[in-house]
Structure formats: C-alpha cells, structure tokens
Amino acid sequence: MDLSGQKLKTVPGEVFQFKNLNALDLSGNKIKQLPDSLGKLVYLQEFRASRNKLTVMPPSLCKLVHLKRLDMSRNALEALPKCIGAWTELVSLDLWDNDLAEFPEEMSKMKALRFMDLRAIQFEVPEMEYIQELVPKAKVYFSQPCNCGM
C-alpha cells in the first residue's frame, strides 16, 4: 500500500482493515507519531516511513516480526526500542539522517541483518565499532567521524 507524499499527519485508520498487508509506504508525509495499532499488521515485510517528523520508534513496531526491510530515514529518531531484537528476519535497516544516540545490545539478535545505513549521523570511532560489533554480518554505512575535539 503506497501512501507516500500525501501530506498525511496521521496514519489513516483504514490501513488497519488490511490484516494481511505485507508492504506499507508512508514516506514523505508529516507524520509525527506512529500509532500502536501498527503492531496489528503482523504480516508486514516492508515498512517505509522515511521523510516524516518522527522522533520515537514505538515498541509496537517490534510486533512486526516478519519485517525484512525497514526504512525510517530522514526523521528525527533519538533512540531505538530495546525490543528491536525481535526483528530476527530483518535484512535491511535504513536509519540515515536521524538523531540516534543509543543502540541497544538487543540488536545482536538481528541475525538476518545485512545492511544498515547510519550515514549523516555523527558518531565517534568507538561508537561505530560498538555498533558494528552488535551486527557483525551487516554492512553498516557510516559518515566519516568528526574529529571535532582535535
């Protein structure tokens, strides 16, 4: 279901009538918060919510255990929920251009992860090494670290 670029401020309730939905694109809207009812779409394999105004990734997203691809790039996410380890089938995680500072160790349960984009987020080298250790099988894309203190 493609609802991208519709200037939506909320997720339309009608979406949740499609219990067997396997792909949902909410990119390029003005959504500030994802509803907990998103967790009811248990068959989702692909979810895109890039280019919105999201600051929180709700724990209800972790109920989407069949996700293969998740794109939440270009938002203002500050942290990832600890339940992220439930995404054992996730292959691609795009978090490019967010405000992330915390990466829970539960990410180490994401054994299928092969791609994670963290560009345009400032990390120091030890943080980058920690994140890569959490997901050793994934290719993690970082921006160059800032040598701001030098």
**What is the tally of structural domains in the chain?**
1
What per-residue confidence (pLDDT) applies to 40? 94
What integer best gives the mean pLDDT of the chain? 95
- Nearest C-alpha neighbor of 94 from the set 3, 10, 25: 25
Please state the rounded mean pLDDT for residues 122-140: 95
Q: Match 């691609």 to its residue by tokens.
A: 92
Residue 149 domain-assigned? no
Structural domain includes residue 1? no
CB atoms within 10 A of CB 70: 25
Q: Which neighbouring-strand residues pair with 118?
A: 142
pLDDT tens-digit map of 75-108: 999 999 999 999 999 999 999 999 998 899 999 9
The CATH code of the domain that includes 105 is 3.80.10.10
**Which residues span the domain enclosing 28?**
13-142
pTM: 0.93
Structure tokens at 49: 């919510």
User: Is residue 8 one of the residues assigned to a domain?
Assistant: no
In 3D space, the residue among 38, 37, 35 whose CA is nearest the CA of residue 24 turns out to be 38
Indicate whether 21 belongs to any domain. yes
Q: Is 43:16 a contact under the CB 8 Å cutoff?
A: no
**Does some domain include residue 3?**
no
pLDDT band for position 145 (cuts 50, 70, 90): confident
Statement: residue 39 has pLDDT above 60: yes
Would you say how long the chain is, in residues? Answer: 150
DSSP H or E stretch at residue 70: strand 69-71
